[in-house]
Amino acid sequence: MMTSVPIRVEGVSKTFGAVPALADVSLHVGAGEFLTLIGPSGCGKTTLLKTVAGLVPVDTGRVMVGERQVSGPGRECSMVFQDFALLPWATVQKNVEFGLVLRGVPAAERAATARRSIAKVGLGGFEEAYPVQLSGGMQQRVGLARALAVNPRVLLMDEPFASIDEQTRRLFQDDLLRLWSEERTTVVFVTHSMEEAIYLSDRVIVLSPRPGRVHQVLDVDLARPREVSDVRASGEFARLVDDLWKILRKLQ
């Protein structure tokens, strides 16, 4: 169990060459909150996520993760990528150990930590498999196990389920919610899927495109734990998805 930290984005702007990506974006993510960023292509949601990760420096404004002002990658955050970003030459075990290796964790300790993390995401028994031998869903489980292995305060997820088939995705979403309720990390999640945004999140932030701005914030007050009840079948769920669609449609 770890303590999660809040994130503050304060007046952040970012331009790539002549292309404005983010314009005066401010938002707050509570400690332990599950927040989703959604919006049309070009709304800068991935860029925003990467400013929090410290991978993209901001032009103006600032990003605070807990007490730290972000000026580069830090140790509070872990990232999960749409294309998994696994090392093809390394086994599942070695992939999950990767973050721990970079942080200089001793071999025995990191092997044990990685094994626990692999078990958490339901991949026990696949430690010696190579990524190429796994399905997309399983590869992303490796990506998640790698992210969790370093015991992050903040989990940054960039369209993690976008290239996974629907059935696998639903199972994975439930597992993610279960893990999140156990680990209590702060999660910032980027997606294109309205259902996914509503199903997972405490709040959904809709960004408008070119340049990205905060357009609207949607509170999702569906009861938790959602993974055990049939939330998707409820009228409340349908209404929230519909609200989100009405907001997004006007932005197209």
Torsional class of 226: left (φ above 0), alpha (ψ -120 to 50), beta (otherwise): alpha
Given 1, 18, 102, 233, the residue binding other proteins (CB under 8 A): 102
- Decide: 188 and 154 in contact? Cβ < 8 Å: yes
Instruction: Find all residues with CB under 8 Å of 234, minimum gap 6, and list them.
Output: 222
- Choose one: 81-89, 113-121, 188-196, 217-225; the region binding other proteins (CB under 8 A): 81-89
- DSSP state for residue 8 in the 8-state scheme: E
Work out which of 57, 73, 124, 125 binds other proteins, going by CB under 8 A.
73
Residues of span 43-62 touching other proteins by CB under 8 A: 53-55
The distance of closest approach from Cβ of residue 167 to other proteins in the complex, given in angstroms and rounded to an integer, is 26
Q: Whose Cβ is closer to other proteins: residue 103's or residue 239's?
A: 103
Q: Which residues of 162-182 are buried (b: 16+ CB within 10 A; e: fewer)?
A: eebeeebbbebbbbbbebbee
128 lies in the binding site for other proteins (CB under 8 A): no
Q: Which of 32, 39, 44, 99 binds other proteins (CB under 8 A)?
A: 99
Q: Which stretch binds other proteins (CB under 8 A): 2-10, 14-22, 74-82, 223-231?
A: 74-82
> Would you call 88 exposed, middle or buried from its count of C-beta atoms within 10 A (0-12, 13-18, 19+)?
exposed
Distances (CA, A) of 49 to 12, 107, 184, 228, 248: 12, 31, 19, 29, 20
| Residue from 88, 223, 233, 249 in contact with other proteins (CB under 8 A) | 88
As given in the structure block, the two tokens for residue 90 are 């390394």
Asked if 37 is part of the footprint of other proteins (rule: CB under 8 A), the reply reads no
Span near other proteins by CB under 8 A; candidates 97-105, 116-124, 165-173, 194-202: 97-105
Q: Is 121 helix (H, G, I), strand (E, B) or coil?
A: coil
101 binds other proteins (CB under 8 A): yes
In the numeric block, which tokens belong to residue 240? 């929230």
Q: Which residues pair with 69 in a beta bridge?
A: 64
Regarding 163 and contact with other proteins (CB under 8 A), the answer is: no
- Interface with other proteins, residue 233, by CB under 8 A: no
> According to CB under 8 A, which one of 15, 57, 60, 89 is a site residue for other proteins?
89
**Nearer residue to other proteins within complex by CB, 20 or 74:** 74
* Full DSSP string of 79-96: EE-TT----TTS-HHHHH
Question: Does residue 16 belong to the site contacting other proteins (CB under 8 A)?
Answer: no
Positions in the binding site for other proteins (CB under 8 A): 53-55, 72-75, 77-79, 81, 83, 85, 87-90, 98-99, 101-103, 130, 132, 150, 156
